[in-house]
Structure 1
Amino acid sequence: MTVRILSLHGMGTNARIFAAQTAHFRNLLPPDYEFVFVDGTTVCDPTPEVADNFEGPYLGWYRSPSTVRVAAAHDAVRKVIDEKGPFDAVLGFSQGAAVAASMLLHARIAGQRPPFQAAIFIGSPIPFSCSLDYGIDTRTYFGIAASSPSRPGALMQIPDYLVTDPAYLKGEKSAEEVFYQMFHATVDPYRIGIPTAHVYGLRDQWRRHSMDLVQLCDRVTVVEHGEGHNVPAGYSEEIADAVETVMTGVGGR
C-alpha cells in the first residue's frame, strides 16, 4: 500500500528545491513511499545556500509568523490536503516544519483528529500559534511595541537561547495590530501525540528551537547531526531509519 507524505519546503526555496534536498535519504526508503512536494504561497528572497545553485521562484509560507500569517499558512496547507490528499504523514524543513507542527498542535487543542499520522521535522524553528489564547507574546522581539500582554497573564519573554538571527525577527507593517504567539512547552500544556522524527544540526542556528520542539511532542525519534541548517546528505541512512521508525503502523505498514 502506498504511503503518501506531504512535503513542505523551507522559506526562500520551493517544492522542486526541497525534492532535491531530500533525494539522498528518500532514495533509501521503500518504493511505496510517495512524497508530494508543494509550493508555498508567499514570494520571498532566496536563502543564501540555495541562491547560487537553484532557480526560483523562491517561496515561503509566510514572511513572519504573525497570528494572521500563520492562520493563512494553515489554510493553504488544508487546501492542498483537500485537493491532493489524503496524506499519511508530513515532512517539513525549517519554516515548512514549523507550519506542520503548528497545525498539529492546533488540532490537538481543538480535540480534532490530526491531519497526519506521523511527522518528520528537519531543522524546525519553534512553531507559532494563530490564536492569542496560546503561546508566549513575542511582539517586542519582532520590533512591535507592546505595553501589555496579548491576554491576561501571558508571558512576554522567551528564553535567551531562542533569540536567533535578528534578521529573522522582522515584524510586518500593517494598519491592524499584529501579534506573534510562540508555542513553548513551558507555557502550553498541549503536545503533538503522533509519532514524530526530529532532525537537527549541532551547528544550526535553530538547533535550540528544534530541541524545544521535541518537548512539545510525546512520541519522538531524534537524529542529531554535525552540520548546520540543511538536510545533511551524509546522514541519509540515519534520517531514513528515523522515517521508517515513525512510519511504523502508518498506512497499513
Structure 2
Amino acid sequence: MLKVDSTYLKAGRGQTSYIDVMGSTGDLPETRRKPRFLCLHGFRTSGEIMREQLAAKWPDQILSRLDLFFPDAPFPAAGKSEVDGIFPPPYYEWYQYDKDFMVYPNLDKAFARVEELMIEHGPFDGLMGFSQGAILSVALAGLQCKGLALTTVPKVRWLVIMGGAMFKAPEVAERVYPSKIDCASLHFIGEKDFLRRNGEKLLEWFDDPVVVRHAKGHTVPRLDEDESIERVAEFLRKIEDELAPGDAKIAINASEEGICAS
C-alpha cells in the first residue's frame, strides 16, 4: 500500500505540500540523492490536489525515487473549478486567459512567482506540470534557455509534462520558445485529451522526448501498465545516472552554459 506523509509549509497565499513516499528506492544507490522536481498544478486546482492525484495514480516504485514539492499558484480561482465536488477548495490559478486563449493576464507574475519558489525551496533539478502547470513549465524552460527567466536558479535539466500545450498568441510564443529546448523531457499524452494535438506539436521543441500515451482525456494519468511504468522508470534511471553521489548544486546561470538554440 502506498504510504504518503505530507508536511505543510506556508508559501504565498496558499499552502505548499511535500510528498515523501516511504518504501523501496528500487535500484537507486543510497549515496545518491533523489531528483527534485517543483510540481506545478493545473488550472483552478492546488498543490495538495496534485499531490493527492499522483499519490493515488502512480505506484510506489516510481514515487519513491522522486523528491517532489507542490506549491499553490499565486492567484485564487476567479471562477468555478472543474474539480469542485471531487476535491475540496481552496483552488488556485497561475494566470488567466481570454476565451480565445490569446491574452494571458498575470503571466509574467506567474513566471516571477515560480522563480521565487525555486529560490525559496530549491535547488530543483526539474519541473513537473499538469495542464496549466505543464504549459508554464515548458515556457519557463524556454525562457531560461534565452536568459529571460529563471536566471538566478540552477538550470532546469528535466521536464515531466502531463496534458501539456503551447501558448497560441504569436507574440507570446515568439518570446517564450527557442528553436529547441535543451531539457530531457517526459510527456504524457491522452488519446481523448482536448489538448492532444497541441501536446503533439510541443514534442517538436525537444530532442528525443520520451512519450507515454494513455487512453484517457485531460487528466493526471494513471500509471498502472507495465509498459508505461517501465518507460517512466527508464527516464528516471537516466536522471539518476547523471546525478553524481551527493550532487546538490548545478550551474546557477543557465545562459552561461549556452544551453539552447535561439
Tell me the TM-score normalized by structure 2: 0.68
Q: Distance in 2 between matches of 1:206 and 1:182?
A: 16
- Superposed, which structure 2 residues align to 1:86-97 within 5 Å? 86-97=123-134
Out of 95, 119, 138, the position equivalent to 2:159 is 119
2:124 equivalent to 1:61: no
Cα distance change of structure 1 residues 57 and 85 upon mapping to structure 2, 3 Å threshold: same
Cα distance change of structure 1 residues 95 and 205 upon mapping to structure 2, 3 Å threshold: same
Q: Which amino acid aligns with 2:170?
A: I
- Structure 2 unaligned segments of length 5 or more: list them: 1-32, 246-262
Cα distance change of structure 1 residues 58 and 46 upon mapping to structure 2, 3 Å threshold: farther
Out of 138, 144, 161, the position equivalent to 1:107 is 144
Q: Distance in 1 between matches of 2:70 and 2:225?
A: 19
- Superposed, which structure 2 residues align to 1:73-222 within 5 Å? 73-110=110-147, 115-127=155-167, 136-137=170-171, 181-182=172-173, 189-222=178-211
Cα distance change of structure 1 residues 36 and 59 upon mapping to structure 2, 3 Å threshold: same
Q: Distance in 2 between matches of 1:240 and 1:116?
A: 23
Cα distance change of structure 1 residues 26 and 62 upon mapping to structure 2, 3 Å threshold: farther
| Cα shift readout 1:221-246 (whole Å, capped 9, x = no counterpart) | 01111110002325465554444333
Cα distance change of structure 1 residues 238 and 98 upon mapping to structure 2, 3 Å threshold: farther
- Aligned pair count? 201
Q: Which amino acid aligns with 2:91?
A: Y
Note the C-alpha offset of 1:69: 2.2
SS of structure 2 residue aligned to 1:79: helix
Note the C-alpha offset of 1:89: 1.7
SS of structure 1 residue aligned to 2:183: strand
Whether the aligned pair in 2 keeps the contact of 1:205 and 1:229 (CA below 8 Å) is yes
Cα distance change of structure 1 residues 19 and 245 upon mapping to structure 2, 3 Å threshold: same
Tell me the TM-score normalized by structure 1: 0.70
Q: Percent identity?
A: 25
SS of structure 1 residue aligned to 2:88: coil
Instruction: Note the aligned Cα RMSD (angstroms).
Output: 2.7
